[in-house]
Amino acid sequence: MREKRLIKVRDLSIGFGKGPALIRDINFDVNCGETLALVGESGSGKTQTCRAILRILPKAARIHSGTAILSSPTGGCDLLSLSERELGDIRGDRISMIFQEPMHSLSPMHKIGAQVSEVLCLHRGHSKRSAKQEVLQSFARVGFPDPERVYRSYPFEISGGMRQRAMIAMAIIAKPDLLIADEPTTALDVTTQAQVLGLIKDLQQETGMAVILVTHDLGVVANAADKVVVMRKGRIMESGSVAEVIDDPAHGYTRQLIAAAPVIPHEANPSCARTIEDPILQLQNVSKSFDLRGGGFMSKGGLVKAVRGVNFTIGRGKTFAIVGESGSGKSTVAQIALGARAPDTGGIIRFWPENGATPLEVQTLEPEEKRRFQRQAQMVFQDPFSSLSPRMQVIDTLTEPLEIHNIGIRRERQDRAVELLEQVGLSPSMLRRFPHAFSGGQRQRLSIARALALRPSLLVCDEPTSALDLSVQAQVLELLEDIRDRMALSYLFISHDLAVVARIADEVAVMRRGQIVEQAAPDVLFTAPKHPYTKALIAACLEPSVCQKIDLDAVATGAGNPQSWPEEYRFKDMIAPELVETDPGHFVRVAL
């Protein structure tokens, strides 16, 4: 059967304000029933490209040239030259769109049912009442267990993954020919991402719509797309079928992107027990509950247990990784480890400044001792755009820790700043500049340099790469590995992505709802996972290879309610089974 072309984009170029075109010479076709992935890093112009098709660009943007012909039974029309009114009939009807952040794209003032029905009322002339049946059907189709309840809910009453499902339901309800999905899964946890991608694929098979999928993740491309367009700085680097581009990348940039994608190892060495002879940090029986404050000091709220009974030990010079989804309590553990938050009574954090020394108990330190401890334990933050003060020059940011601790004179501090920049692979010409001129990766390097200023022995990295582009992520991980080995640092590494820690960690703990559910060396954990949740995380990792297929069932069970786990892993009255050592060095929360 000859493929029927649905949309043909030619010579599209877009500029901002009066400047030259920043996005140039974009050409691609999408056939009916096909998925085209637009891949690129932030600033590559992929989002603006697909927004240009619907003409929902930001105010300052101008379309300089190009055509986007949408075929229809009666002939084609150029979306870029239609009147606003004619375009209004196409938006939401023949072409619909899903945005990245489901919270911002649903109105918090209206019930979900009403928002979804609106599409039918506008384009199909339904009344509110007659639309309801169809809306409920589409809710059932996107996998809501109780469509009636969702119909009556407000967006903030349901979780991020569920909201994204509601957005999809809204996008497909008018049975569009083309669905544009702009990073539909980036704001979601990995397990939810796998489920949402699976859903889009199912719907596509059912309705025969075409999909333009905008993403920065080659793993998503390999698993969900038929054709791919790789973009960089507003230009197409390479395009072709997924099989061709992923298996045999021809352009250097594509090759670099594929190499940068983190991969979970598939072969394993036999597991062995390790005893830690020279520990640097130990958490023992650490719990943390938060008071849900009702706003004033007179009102009482509930108590939330964010962390429950966490134990682990980090060896000197080793990397201990904690992996978990948002809300699993991993960042709270990081803060407790650094003494930034006090654990509930009974929790002990021990820190050994050097081998054989008497350990400091971090939770009971006096202010002066705490300042000394802080010289040895530092933190690298997640968001490079918020972790550097916009009012301070790079040099002030880097010398600040030295100033706080009264180390050296002005001249020495400046020399140290230059040295630090070189250590993280930046040039000293940055000293007098301000952080906002730099990219996320450069800023994250600055953030690492600042953490190194006091020559610490322990570095806590709280999702240091999750705000970065893939290729930058790989570079930053490489840098972290390099300085760890060079300066004999120990890391506590927090991440939501198993694949990221696969390379850097010596031991990995998987956290779920405030508890460690499984802990082992990475090769053991990745090849012989025992806990259903770990299995779900691994199954949900998308790799840039065409042969991998997502096991959605494993994802759904493991990431779902703990009550749906197999008998021996199940929580009883919110109490999980004990953590037991099933194999040497491999701990699982399982009832034997």
Partner 1 sequence: MSNRYIDPAPYDPDSEASTPARPDLDAPNWLLIWRKFRRHKLGLASGLFLLVSYLMMPFAGFIAPYSPNEIHRDHLYAAPQLVRLFHKGEFIGPFVYPEKATADLVNFKWDYTTDYENPAKLSFFCSGSKHRFLGLFETDKHLFCAPEGATVFLWGADRLGRDVFSRIFYGGQLSLTVGLIGITVSFILGITIGGISGYFGGVIDWFTQRVIEVLRSIPELPLWLALSAAVPSDWSPVAVFFIISVILGLLDWPGLARAVRSKFLSLREEEFVRAAEMMGAKPSRIIRKHLLPNFSSHLIASAMLSIPAMILGETALSFLGLGLRAPAVSWGVMLNDAQNLASIEIYPWTAIPMLPVIFVVLAFNFLGDAMRDSLDPYSYD
CB of residue 533 to partner 1, shortest distance in Å: 29
Q: Which of 405, 401, 382 is nearest to 392 (CA)?
A: 401
CB of 383 to partner 1, least distance (A): 6
Query: Closest distance between partner 1 and the C-beta of residue 396, in Å?
Result: 9
Choice from 33, 240, 353, 408 touching partner 1 (CB under 8 A): 240
CA distances from 490 to 62, 360, 394, 463, 507 (A): 50, 17, 26, 16, 12
Check residue 400 for interaction with partner 1 (CB under 8 A).
yes
CB of 438 to partner 1, least distance (A): 6
Q: Tell me which residues in 248-277 interact with partner 1 (CB under 8 A).
A: 250-253, 256
Task: CB nearer to partner 1: give 100 or 117.
Answer: 100
Q: Are 464 and 380 in contact (CB under 8 A)?
A: yes
Q: How far is the CB of 433 from partner 1 (least distance, A)?
A: 6
572 near partner 1 (CB under 8 A)? no
What's the closest the beta carbon of residue 351 comes to partner 1, in angstroms? 14
Out of 23, 264, 379, 555, name the contact with partner 1 by CB under 8 A.
379
- Whole-angstrom distance, CA of residue 49 vs CA of residue 58: 12
DSSP state of 342: P
- Whether the CB-CB separation of 13 and 21 falls below 8 Å is answered with yes
Q: Which residues of 515-536 are buried (b: 16+ CB within 10 A; e: fewer)?
A: bbbbbbbbbbbbbebbbbbbbb
Counting Cβ atoms within 10 Å, is residue 138 exposed (0-12), middle (13-18) or buried (19+)? buried
Encoded one letter per residue, x for contact with partner 1 by CB under 8 A and - for no contact, window 409-438 reads ----------------xxx-xx--xx-xxx
Binding mask 286-305 for partner 1 (x = CB under 8 A): ----------xx--------
Q: CB of 452 within 8 A of CB of 423? A: yes
CA proximity to 554, closest of 534, 528, 524: 534
Take residue 299 and report the two structure tokens written for it: 């009102």
Q: Binding to partner 1 by residue 62, rule CB under 8 A?
A: no
- Minimum Å distance from CB 568 to partner 1? 40
Q: Which is nearer to partner 1, 438 or 565 (CB)?
A: 438
Q: Which stretch binds partner 1 (CB under 8 A): 185-193, 234-242, 276-284, 303-311?
A: 234-242
237 is a contact residue toward partner 1 (CB under 8 A): yes
- Shortest reach from residue 368's CB to partner 1, in Å: 10
Question: Which one of the spans 94-102, 240-248, 551-559, 562-570 is the region binding partner 1 (CB under 8 A)?
Answer: 240-248
Q: Which amino acid is at 355?
A: N
Contacts (CB under 8 A) with partner 1, residues 324-353: 338, 340
User: Binding pattern to partner 1, positions 26-55, x when CB under 8 A?
Assistant: -x-x--------------------------
Cβ nearer to partner 1, comparing 279 with 425: 425
Q: Does 467 bind partner 1 (CB under 8 A)?
A: no
Does 3 help bind partner 1 (rule: CB under 8 A)?
yes
Burial of 570 (0-12, 13-18, 19+ CB in 10 A): middle
The one segment of 195-203, 351-359, 379-387, 521-529 that binds partner 1 by CB under 8 A: 379-387
Question: Using alpha carbons only, what angle is made at residue 512 by residues 275 and 260, rounded to the nearest 5 degrees?
Answer: 75
| Under 8 Å between Cβ of 268 and 524 | yes
Q: Provide, rounded to whole angstroms, the least separation between the CB of residue 124 and partner 1.
A: 35
239 binds partner 1 (CB under 8 A): yes
Task: Tell me which H or E stretch contains 281.
Answer: strand 279-291
CB distance 372 to 406 below 8 Å: no
Please report which residue ranges of 155-240 form alpha helices under DSSP H: 160-172, 190-207, 218-224
Is residue 152 a contact residue for partner 1 (CB under 8 A)?
Answer: no
Total site size for partner 1, rule CB under 8 A: 61
- Cα torsion angle, 170, 172, 177, 180, sign: positive
Name which of 71 and 439 has its Cβ closer to partner 1: 439
CA angle, residues 462, 463, 465, in degrees to nearest 5: 135
Q: Identify which of residues 91 and 251 has a Cβ nearer to partner 1 in the complex.
A: 251
Helix (H, G, I), strand (E, B), or coil: what is residue 93?
coil
Helical spans, DSSP H, in 14-71: 46-54
The phi and psi torsions of 398 (rounded to 5 degrees) equal: -75, -30
Under the binding rule (CB under 8 A), the answer on residue 156 touching partner 1 is no
* Residue found by looking up tokens 């075929």 in the block: 71
Binding site for partner 1 (CB under 8 A): 3, 16, 27, 29, 58-60, 235-241, 244-245, 250-253, 256, 296-297, 338, 340, 370-371, 374-375, 378-379, 381-383, 386-393, 400-401, 404-405, 425-427, 429-430, 433-434, 436-439, 442, 447, 450, 454
